[in-house]
Structure 1
Amino acid sequence: MKKDASQLIAILKSQFDDASFYTEPSDCWAYGYDNSRRHALPDAVVFASNHEDVVKLVKLCAQHSIPLIARGRGTNTTGAAIPINGGIVLSLERMQKIIEIDPQNRFMVVEPGVLNQNAQEAAQKMGLFWAPDPTSAPYSSIGGNIACGAAGPRSVKYGTTKDNVLGLTAVTGTGHTIHTGVYTTKGSVGYDLTRLMIGSEGTLGIVTSAILKLLPIPETKRTLRAFFSSMPSALSAVIKVMQQPIIPCGVEFMDGNAIRMVRNFSHPELPEKAQSMLIIEVDGSHSIIDHDLQAIVRAIQHPDLLEVNIARSEKEATELWKIRKSLSASLRSLSPHKINEDIIVPVSKVSEILEFTEVLSKQYEIQVVNFGHAGNGNIHVNFLVDPFDPIKGPQAKECLHQLFDKVLSLKGSLSGEHGVGIEKRDYIGKEINSDTLCLMKNIKAQFDPQNILNPGKIFPE
């Protein structure tokens, strides 16, 4: 039920001071979008400063049947933070406290508005780190990372957010506070509600604090970059790297289209014959790092290997990474409204799925650029097309249908780290059968009986 402006302002004034919420459309506008480039104007924006603020707001929204959409910094690419049904956007950006760091027991307790990079910097002072490292780390929040199950390059060795959060405090759709998980790295009492909450995109509850598992910073790290004259040869090298006993802490891939784009945009020195590129990192102790690096070098040997660059310092490593990190800017400059998917398949099937994207590209005359975390089969497939174009838009949608069908036929999944939001909700039935979806909806109803928490996300309409 939608409230008119005067009713909504009166409701908020009853519990919050004027500095804690916006109702003017011009003020609310920026909180109606995320990195999906979609937009819907919220009726109001409320800024929580603590757990109690969240409880108050959830109870108000439940009482008045107002949709409530929790928001971090809007870096999500699937529209998960878009208020498609109006209502109130709950911004958690003011909840930036690092509540506790325990270096002896290797955990950190943070509020959801803490930026990933700020958490990393605080842990680093103790000789520790939190494993999830999405590209958006400097400006994405821990709460947002938890909401979509973020990962990043390090996940190939250290796991995703689900593997690195020990426990949560959250507010359900009824306004009740729940505590999940433990402070220890082991615990088997009751259901694992922590993992259930992670990746639920704010549809089950609103996280107000998280217990993060920290790991010791390795003594050293080495980075290499390799160019290949064919895509299959690079992907064959990835399989060999992942089969040998030295687990890299990053295995990144770029296809020939991505390399050409970056070459034209900012790096003209890249090899002309390069059709694929790998960036591989290994970390560990000073005494074995050279041995481990050489094991990786041996694993990637192939007749199509054009060149290998090995960084001997942090500065050189940064230079090697510049190519990969400049790709997003290159893509946005060429196609501001591109479709960015993050499918995941078994590592041995990456070559097959990328060959299929080439078939789709030729069939529909849509340029496709592929890159991503090849070490765990998580590839970002970018269709350089405006989804709202009257001709290319429907073609792109048909591309997605075929791509997702192929991914699932290879025992993959529709998303490795971005989540579902609204971009993939109409496809989720391809991966999850009706009985399972029904059970998920019933779980949602237990946490949020009035369906006020981020309605319209994940589940098909």
Structure 2
Amino acid sequence: MTALPDELQRELSGLLGEAWLTDPGERLAYAYDNSRRHAMPDAVALPRTREQVLALVRACRRHRVPVIARGRGTNTTGASVPVAGGVVVSFERMNRILEIRPGDRCAIVEPGVLNGDLQTALKSHGLFWPPDPTSAAFSTVGGNLACNAGGPRAVKYGASRDNVLAVTAVTGAGELIVCGTATTKGSTGYDLHRLLVGSEGTLALIVEASLRLTPAAPARAALRAIYRDVSAAAQAVARLMAQPVTPSMLEFMDARAVQLARDFGGADLPAEAGALLMIEADGDAQTLPHSIDALKRAAQGDGLISLDDASDEAARERLWAARKALSPSLRTLAPGKINEDVVVPVSRIPELVDGVQALAREFDLPIVCFGHAGNGNLHVNLLYDPADDAQSERAHAAMSRVFALALALGGTLSGEHGIGLAKREFMPQAVDAATLALMRQLKQVFDPDGILNPGKLLPDP
């Protein structure tokens, strides 16, 4: 039995039929996400149409029942965990690519479309959608929009917020709204569609999105630069981002990450490597060599140990082997991991990495840093044994200090994972009181009764 009112149960069961799940075994699958946090929903809805979403939200609002939007649960912050119970609205059946308009560089999709499926559909048109999180094969476009997902390509092509033209959404007040326009330019009122991107389902439930597409470059090439230490690598990042050729990817690995990729992942890396940059450029066959030459010149400097290039796809895959070997190798250090992404100005990356390693020593826990250097967006992976209470306590205390360090360096709490449950208590440190108050006012306008994803993103007043 669930805690939902009988009247609401009957109404939503009639609305959704077999797509209204109340059996505990069925609900369990929607109780957690990739953060490993867990809370049981009272019911799960699997709508197929925006009309069903609209009717569901209106019914839940009448009974003051929480509504939690869900993609595929790949987020790491607990943003889709139903901590207050209520109804999880899973968009897995709203998974249609409604229209691809190559001439307009636009695709119109439902929120449950998988990022990877969209990319496959776009390939024959010579187009792609830039957001490419690690979970792209499994994560939904709706989920990508909810947390403003990015990935390695964001350094050149931007994150989700930069690649959406319009959204149709259902607010917590039970109103269907259309924000933005499916054109690449528009100046008609407030920029509400970009406001909804990154709001983690706390303002409205996105039921359709018009996405900005980008032509796929016909060629790409990669460089792997190995440096003596993090400072030398960070100085190279500054040089790479200051010259005219923007890399299509610029990935960073610290010394511990390089060691893991070499010793446990089998990557071909020298023992003296203190940091690594993976650099990619894309373009046409005529201009790409010039771009690579410019990036090579920028990568050179004090502390460079080696600089390898890959002119074909097979060689490129060999260079990327170090990065791909990293995540599996993390499992060799500890059974548990806290993976949070923070952002600092590019020039402050050495201070962030040095500070994180000082925390690793202070709390006696391994911490590995890697990520999207061109944006100053690093993933801090703190490794510990969740079964050891003392280690768990130290791990969470250390991560609090990581957030404080990023803020002290002029950065912010997240670049692409979002806030969710994991970082909401740190929001008053990251956002001034007046701005936080304005965010709460916006929440009140979009969701007057506070039913949408309660307990996430915004801290309690």
Q: TM-score range by the shorter chain?
A: over 0.9
Structure 1 Cα separation of the partners of residues 314 and 29 of structure 2: 37
Structure 1 Cα separation of the partners of residues 458 and 278 of structure 2: 36
Amino acid at match of 1:295: A
Shift of 1:132: 1.0
* 1:236 match: 235
TM-score by length of 1: 0.96
TM-score by length of 2: 0.96
Question: Which structure 1 residue ranges, 4+ long, deviate > 6 Å from structure 2?
Answer: none
Structure 2 Cα separation of the partners of residues 271 and 198 of structure 1: 42
* 2:86 match: 87
Say if 1:388 and 1:204 are closer, same or farther in 2 by CA, change over 3 A. Answer: farther
SS of corresponding position for 2:451:
coil
Amino acid at match of 1:10: R
* 2:251 match: 252
Aligned ranges for residues 24-423 of structure 1 at < 5 Å?
Answer: 24-267=23-266, 269-386=268-385, 389-423=388-422
Amino acid at match of 2:444: A
SS of corresponding position for 1:210:
strand
The number of residues matched between the two structures is 459
403-412 or 77-86: bigger deviation:
403-412
Structure 1 Cα separation of the partners of residues 31 and 314 of structure 2: 39
SS of corresponding position for 2:146:
helix
Residues 267 and 322, structure 2, Cα contact 8 Å, conserved in 1: no
Shift of 1:112: 0.4
Shift of 1:304: 2.8
Cα offsets for 1:245-295 (capped at 9, x unmatched): 111011000111112222232215322221211110011121111111011
Structure 1 Cα separation of the partners of residues 40 and 332 of structure 2: 26
SS of corresponding position for 1:32:
coil
Structure 2 Cα separation of the partners of residues 112 and 226 of structure 1: 38
SS of corresponding position for 1:309:
strand
Residues 339 and 386, structure 1, Cα contact 8 Å, conserved in 2: no
Structure 2 Cα separation of the partners of residues 97 and 270 of structure 1: 44
Amino acid at match of 1:239: A
332-341 or 163-172: bigger deviation:
332-341
SS of corresponding position for 2:29:
helix
SS of corresponding position for 1:109:
strand
Unaligned stretches of 5+ in structure 1? Answer: none
* 1:10 match: 10
CA RMSD between the two structures: 1.6
Structure 2 Cα separation of the partners of residues 5 and 331 of structure 1: 46
Shift of 1:6: 5.8
Structure 2 Cα separation of the partners of residues 14 and 310 of structure 1: 61
Structure 1 Cα separation of the partners of residues 388 and 53 of structure 2: 40
Shift of 1:56: 1.5
Structure 1 Cα separation of the partners of residues 325 and 436 of structure 2: 39
Shift of 1:134: 0.9
Residues 92 and 112, structure 1, Cα contact 8 Å, conserved in 2: yes
SS of corresponding position for 2:27:
helix
SS of corresponding position for 2:336:
coil
Structure 2 Cα separation of the partners of residues 268 and 240 of structure 1: 27
Structure 2 Cα separation of the partners of residues 262 and 23 of structure 1: 45
Amino acid at match of 1:271: P
265-274 or 31-40: bigger deviation:
265-274
Unaligned stretches of 5+ in structure 2? Answer: none
Aligned ranges for residues 414-453 of structure 1 at < 5 Å?
Answer: 414-453=413-452
SS of corresponding position for 1:16:
helix
Shift of 1:388: 7.2
Shift of 1:5: 8.0
Structure 2 Cα separation of the partners of residues 271 and 116 of structure 1: 36
Structure 2 Cα separation of the partners of residues 327 and 30 of structure 1: 29
Structure 1 Cα separation of the partners of residues 59 and 263 of structure 2: 53
Structure 2 Cα separation of the partners of residues 316 and 77 of structure 1: 32
Structure 1 Cα separation of the partners of residues 368 and 163 of structure 2: 30
Structure 1 Cα separation of the partners of residues 112 and 249 of structure 2: 27
Q: Percent identity?
A: 47
Residues 251 and 375, structure 1, Cα contact 8 Å, conserved in 2: yes
Structure 2 Cα separation of the partners of residues 162 and 34 of structure 1: 23
Shift of 1:4: 4.7
Cα offsets for 1:201-246 (capped at 9, x unmatched): 0000000110100111112111111222322111111111111111
Structure 2 Cα separation of the partners of residues 5 and 273 of structure 1: 64
Amino acid at match of 1:101: I
Cα offsets for 1:133-163 (capped at 9, x unmatched): 1111111100000000000111111111111
Structure 1 Cα separation of the partners of residues 218 and 268 of structure 2: 32
